[in-house]
Amino acid sequence: MRYAIKPEKVMTSSGELLNKYVVINQGKIERIQVEKPTDCDVHYYPDSYLSAGFIDVHIHGRAGADVMDENDTALATIAQALPQTGVTAWVGTTVSAPWQNILSSMQRMKDYIQQGKQSGAELLGSFMEGPYFTERHRGSHPTEYLMPPTIPQLEELLQISDRTLLRVAIAPEIENAEPAIKWLVENGVKVSVAHTNATFEQVTKAYYLGADCGVHLFNGMSALHHREPGCTGAVLYHDMLAEIIADGIHVHPAVLNLAYKLKTYRRMVLITDCMRAGGLPDGEYMLGVQTVRVENGQARTFDGSLAGSTCSLDQALRNMVFKADVPVWEAIQMVTTIPATYLGVADRIGDIAVGKEANFTLLNKELQVQATYIQGEQVYKCGEKF
């Protein structure tokens, strides 16, 4: 099926394109042109921006489901709920829990991906967030499940995930962290620093070993100080990608702007860190093996620690633009091209370019999601059920 979309602006990785027609054929972008196509229908969207589909590299769940739920429907539930937030691809994220629970979650995600029957947002792979963390900055990760990494554990993890494991988070100062980082990088798994009390020097060493990302910048890490820059300072200083939760709760808008000025859009990626309560009312919900309370949209453990978020990626985008004063085009790169490049999937998604998959998010001027397309098929339209 061939058709064309004509928005006001097309947001590509190279800039904003005006008065362009994007022609889609068989689920891919066939061409981008100035002239009105004569060989297909044209769908006009005046006063709208056409972006590549959003990619969330760090999300635990949504719509009442979590990647660690021990059933066969949770992953599909999350995938079906994400397009209404503009997300067309995501990385399923675990939490600290009994080791066998983590392995089971990795197995389910691997099976879900390899079955080749996905619908909704595409699950790209998995991210193991925990249990290789330090007590002081564990956040919502239960103390009893924290542990140092071992190579046999990592070998088991890689085997059971069958190369669908994309990321592992580690606190650089814990026992065995350095050999674990080196082993993971050598085996093609991206390593992030997280939930850590590491010094600037310890994170710097991890960076030179191959750790290339800081998980939810400012949260769950040693803070920036003018005499000891800590993990926060190291992530800001080095050429590391910085995840950031722009929900208006985890990081003040002024600090979002400061981080943007230091890292630029090229080294920042917006994440949700969303748990199962995303899109649902306040109440009590499970995160991994513990119960968290959501009040006024804030998810916290009973001891008061933030426990992920209930934020959506489109809301994070709006916050970066309207609260943190980041230009629209640059903020859009933080949820499209930058995460696609980081995950190594930019050859097929994360941009609007000839030959790429026709994954789109259509936004109005207020950056509200109007429609979402996956491989050329409209899977969400504002105000309609699919």
66 is catalytic: no
Residues in the chain: 386
Beta-bridge partners for 292: 285
Which entry of 66, 273, 314, 351 is annotated as an active-site residue?
A: 273
Rounded Cα distance between 105 and 186, Å, is: 24
Q: Which residue bears the tokens 């739920």?
A: 69
Rounded Cα distance between 367 and 46, Å, is: 14
Which residues are CB-neighbours of 95 under 8 A, at least 6 positions away? Answer: 60, 68, 129, 130, 140, 141, 287, 288
From the list 142, 145, 139, 187, the residue with the least C-alpha distance to 166 is 187
Contact 199, 159 (CB under 8 A): no
Q: Is 129 annotated as a binding residue?
A: yes
Rounded Cα distance between 377 and 98, Å, is: 39
Rounded Cα distance between 305 and 362, Å, is: 35
Which residues are CB-neighbours of 144 under 8 A, at least 6 positions away? Answer: none
Distance of CA 93 to the CA centre of its chain: 9
Q: Is 216 annotated as a binding residue?
A: yes
Give the CB-side neighbour count of residue 358, counting CA atoms within 13 A: 23
Type of residue at 331: A
Q: Which residue bears the tokens 């330090």?
A: 134
Rounded Cα distance between 30 and 357, Å, is: 9
Rounded Cα distance between 1 and 259, Å, is: 43
Angle at 127 between CA 279 and CA 161, to 5 degrees: 120
Strands 87-93 and 54-59: parallel
Rounded Cα distance between 308 and 249, Å, is: 11
Rounded Cα distance between 217 and 234, Å, is: 11
Binding site for Zn(2+): which residues?
Answer: 129, 195, 216
Enzyme catalytic residues: 273
